[in-house]
Structure formats: C-alpha cells, structure tokens
Structure 1
Amino acid sequence: MLFLTAILLSCNTHAEPTEIVVGATQTDKYFPLLEGKTVGLVVNNTSRVNKLHLVDFLVKNEIDVKKIFAPEHGFRGDVSAGGKVEDGVDTQTGLPVFSLYGETRKPTPEHLDGLDAMIFDIQDVGCRFYTYISTLHLVLEACAEYDVPLIVLDRPNPNGDYVAGPVRKEGFESFVSMDPIPIVHGCTVGELAKMINGEHWHKAGKACNLTIVPVLNYNHTMMYSLPERPSPNLPNDLSVRLYPSLCFFEATSVSVGRGTDFPFQVLGGLNENLGEFEFTPRSIPGVAINPLNKDKKCYGIDLRELEEAPKFTLKYFIDFYHKYENESEFLTRERWLNLLAGTDDLIMQIREGKNEAQILESWQAELEQYKKLRKKYLLYPDFE
C-alpha cells in the first residue's frame, strides 16, 4: 500500500519550516486585494481553510462575496464524473451558484457583471485530463476579456514530482486536453495559470490581470497527502497516484473500480482470463450512478497490494490490451482514448507492437522542450 507523508495545514503564516501553508490560509496576502470589492469564487469541496469552506470563511470575514462558480462534480463535490452540474443557490449562505460544467463552461459577461475580482481555489491532481485546469483556462480567458482581476490561491500538486506522457497535439483539443502540456504536467494550479497566461494559450487576445498566492514551504520533490478527496472517485493517496496511469482505461471495457469502495485502485473486465481478483461495480449516488459493468462480476487485478504506486506507466494498459483476442472487445471508444492521450500516436504504437520503453522514448524530445518552457513559470524548487 502506498503511504504518503501527511502534511498539516495551518492558518498561521509563521508556520514551522516543514509545515505546508496553502494560499487560502494566507489572508495577509489577499485580503487587502479584496477590500471594498465584490468577489466571485471558483471553488469546490476542496476549497477549505482548515476545516471551513472558503466561501463560509470569506463571508465570516466580511468579504463581499457575490457569486459562486462550480466546476465538474459541483460546488460541494457530490456530482458523478461527467454529470451535469446545475445552477442553484448555496444553502449555507444564500449565494447564487453558477455551473461551469453544463451548457456553459466559460463565465459569461452576465456572470462577471458586477464583480471586481475573481478567486480560483481548487485542488488539482496534476493531470492534463483532470478538468479543473480546463475550467481554470476558461476562467482566465473570461477574466482577461472582461478586465476582471483573477487571484489564484495555490495548493500543492500530489503528482508534482515528475513530468510524463505525450504532449497534446494540435487537433486533439478538448475539455480533457485544453493546452499543449503532457499528461503529468508537473505544475501547481498557480504555475499553470502563469503558463497559460504567459504563453497566450487562451483566446482573450490580452493577458489576464493575474495574482498567485503561492504555497509556503513547498517544493516539487515533496509527496503531498490531500486533506479532502478532490473528486468522488479519487478517495485516497493511492488512487490519486495511480490516476495518470489508469485513466486511459475509461475508453475501454475494463473497469477502474468506479462503483466500488476502491475506485482507481483496481482493474477488471468481464473475461475471466483477466485476473483472479473479483469485484462487482454498483450504483453509488453522488459517486458512480451508472458505472461501467454495473452489477456484473469483473475479473482482474487489485492494485491495493502495491507496496509503492508507480509513476505514470503504460504497463497496465498494454498488458490488458494483449489479453483480448479482438481489440474491439477491449477498446470501445477510440476517439475518447485519443482525446485523453492528446494524440492518436499511442494506440497506433500499441497496434504496431511497440513496448513501453519504445513508446516512452518517442515522447522524450517533446517532453524536454516542455520542461524548458515549464521552468519559466515555476514558483517552487524543482525536482531536477
């Protein structure tokens, strides 16, 4: 089992040197920027100052919060993957909540009307296909277009100790691959915001007025244990660490454990030759309403037995691919796989019989270029 070092969070900006202090707790850095201003918040269940939600914390401190914007999984983090997030009202504060994961994914002029500033505070897990950073991209774009300053309250990246995977190619842009970055991008949300803004990847035509409140006492060599699950199907450190390697299975007939108590910690399909471990996905409200292979016994492998979770690897995907006689029984959504990968090279290389080492080597030149670009925007000591 993977164990990551638990890191304490504190409201005290004079914390001990080993203590991580996230941006949201550093009120001396951003409260002065909000004085006398009306504020919008892009937040979810991870947006906390210790145990208190950022919305409640700011209202309690008499910050004039006017609107809340919700990403995938909703404001309270209780909507299943891909489920439509509805507009509504926060029952705790009475504030209006506007969905950025429904028919509208980018704040509109009406959304931003009357706001003097926007705050983005959401925990990311360091993968290109995790849609919170796609929401960040579109919020940056909208704020730039309508001259609304954006403040990003930064948080550590639990997969921020390395960079891996193919860089997204042109023609494979989607909400799971907005920007030309690798699958494991090695940046915090604050660093990514700087990169998207600085490289003019959004379409505003001008830079956003961007402020980052960095994490104190953090660097990219650290392992970080998330105090809140970042989404319903990433419940613990092991699932977060395996997520970059297992997400490709979402385009196949193989379950990653959605609809179980251990999502993104197992793999299994309906063929008995896939492995000796057995599990049966079920409907779990707010987590997995209609999971793949619902109510059917799956056979495969239990990754909870790992002593240490690997960094990004193609091992599991290639192994399962070769266990099927017919590719069509395994790969059920090829276009979705290509969007997740950000390229169609991956599936072509697997079809050609290339092994993991050969495929990884084919990505190295683009990864080296990306690493040079990334260094321009780093806020924290790097792993290299």
Structure 2
Amino acid sequence: MKLTVVGGGSTYTPELIDGFARLRDTLPVRELVLVDPAADRLDLVGGLARRIFARQGHDGRIVTTSDLDAAVDGADAVLLQLRVGGQAARQQDETWPLECGCVGQETTGAGGLAKALRTVPVVLDIAERVRRANPDAWIIDFTNPVGIVTRALLRAGHRAVGLCNVAIGLQRKFAGLLGVAPADVHLDHVGLNHLTWETAVRLGGPEGADVLPRLLAEHGDAVAADLRLPRPLLDRLGAVPSYYLRYYYAHDEVVGELRTKPSRAAEVAEMERQLLRMYGDPALDEKPALLAERGGAYYSEAAVDLAAALLGGAGSPYQVVNTSNRGTLSFLPDDAVIEVPATVGGKGAAPLPVADVDPLYAGLMANVTAYEDLALDAALRGGRDRVFRALLAHPLVGQYGYAEQLTDLLVAHNREHLAWA
C-alpha cells in the first residue's frame, strides 16, 4: 500500500508518522511519500519520520520529494495537509479582520474565506494530478477550511472525504471523564466542519444509551472550561458545541481578547521554529511533547482509521467525517458537505440517519452553508463582488459596511495568491 502526504514538510507530520508506526496492523503502509516544496523542512521532517519508523520496528519505506506527480503516482490514498501562504498568510488572516471589529481566525469568518480563496484552486489542481495518476485513489482532506475544500473536491467528481479532529478529540475527552475506553463512546455529532454540536453521547454503539445528561451533570464545569463557554449555557443547550462555536456565541468577547494578545499564528510560528530545531536532532526518534501544543491532537488515529476503512482494511465502520449531505439533513442542499457519523468503506462515506435538528442549530447551519456556497463560487470564479457577497452572507460579518472594508483588506493581503486580483 502506498500513501502520499501532500504538505509532508509540515510540523504536524510526525504526529501522523507516529500513528502510522503504532497502528501498522490497521493500516499496513509499505511506502509513504512525503511531498513538499520546502526542501529544508522536508529533510528535517523526513529524517525524523524514518527514525520514528525504525524505533517502532516499522519496515515501510519513507520517501521525500518535491515532485508532486512522482509522489502521487500509484498512490492508493493521498492525504492533503497543505497551507497555501504558510504561517505568514495565517498571521494576516488572524489580524486584518480585527480592524473591522470582526473575529480574526484562519478557518471561519473573513480569515477563513481568505484561506479558502487561496486553497481551493491549489487543491483542485493537485486532485486532477492524483486522478490522472490513479483514478481509484482516495483523497483525504485535512486542509482547512475542510468543509469548503471537500465540497470543491466532491463537486469536481473526486473520490474525497474530509477529516477533522474535533470529534475524535471530544470522544477521547468524554471517555476519560466517564472512565471508559474511547472505542465505547459514540457521538451524535451533527453540523458542518467547525460548526458542530454533540447532541448525545452513547455508550457501546450508535444505538447505545445516551449518557450526555449524566456527563453534563457530573463534569459540566470541566467541559465548559475546555470550551471557554459558561457552564449555564451548556445546561440550557443540553448539548456540547465545538469550541469553534465560541466565535459565534461570544463574538464580541473573543474580538476583545484577540485585540489584546499575540495571535495564535505568532504562537504557532515560534512553536514551529522550536520543533524544526528538535527534528534536526539525529538522536530524536519519537514525536516531542511540544508537538501536542501545535494542534491536531489525535489526527493520526483519525487519519489511519479513515484511510484503512476506505482501502478495505481494519478501519472502524462508523466514523465522523465530512461528506455530501445527500438528504441527511432535509434543510440543507444535497451537495452541502456536512460533518456527521457515517459508515465508511471501499465505496466511500455514507451518512448515518440524524435525528431532528433543533432549529437553534439548524438555522445557523443553513446560514453558514449558504455562505460556503458563495465562498466556493468566489474561490472558483474570483471577482471582488463574489468575495463581497460571501462576506455579507457570513453571520460573523453580516453588515454591508464591514463586508466592503473586509473585501478590500482581503484582496490587498492576498493579491499574490489570487489570479484574478
């Protein structure tokens, strides 16, 4: 089995490598190709990757290259984890929206739109090259904004599934609080990428007893603290929102915080400098503890599980993924990309039935889905007016004056990445 990681020079990659090494019985990778245009980073990450494999007794071959076509040739699955523009672009995404009093964040709001505009054309070009190399290959997208990128891939007819680590992170968190094995925890997870709620927490399987009321009663303070939301809000919702909902539920509070502290991009950039120095140590043969602070927790487990199921291996039959709605949520278009539990196998991901969704969540999901449709149109066809329409539709922007200012700022800060600008 050959797997290719596009963006293999990312400091995330050792997390993925560690999972491939530990879970080799689930996903028996014989050749793993890391491809990245940044040769210096790729050399450091590739060296550590080989040492991790050797330490854990994995005899698979790890190849590093900057040649994308060679990297995807014959690949059974291709994982996308690229960042167009690097951390410098992320720094901009997280700062210029604050000039208008709007959240500065790299996956949602105006910053998320900028990332989508930079990313979608690049990902579609990669996907076409994958299809030419092997039309049966699966594309697993971890590149943000996952919902918009996955929708672009599926609309273009690619064999693609989107992946996020929010659900697996909450599964692990809840399992620890309940004192059970993670495999015994099944989430009624519903929404869009980075816009999700846990409406039930079931033990033993998808039809198991819902212990969410018990979880909130006994551990609500700990859950609320992790989300940085008030405990009474969780009690009133009777659900656990993803931490990205804080951008909506406490927008003004978050903007105030972001204006008075260093950006997450600046923190990550410094962390990456430290990690790359560590990766260059020839004695290092395991992922360093600092990597846990970089983000992407449990990404490796989720990626291995998904790839194994898609490729006919030992992956779990039920997984939370990003895939086409196809009537699952009646209030959204069939081609909307939703994030829900699904059955996963050689034919792809099929969403499991979802219980009626509270209008409190359904309304916001419908609004953001409309924004994502407009954002994808702007990413595919370009144009200042399409950018303005997408911003005006986003519930974190919404006012025409802000949308006008943000359009100007977005174009000014991303001109080198926008062919039409």
TM-score with structure 1 setting the length: 0.31
TM-score with structure 2 setting the length: 0.29
Structure 1 or 2: larger helix share?
Answer: 2
Pick 1 or 2: higher relative contact order, CA cutoff 8 A, min separation 6: 2
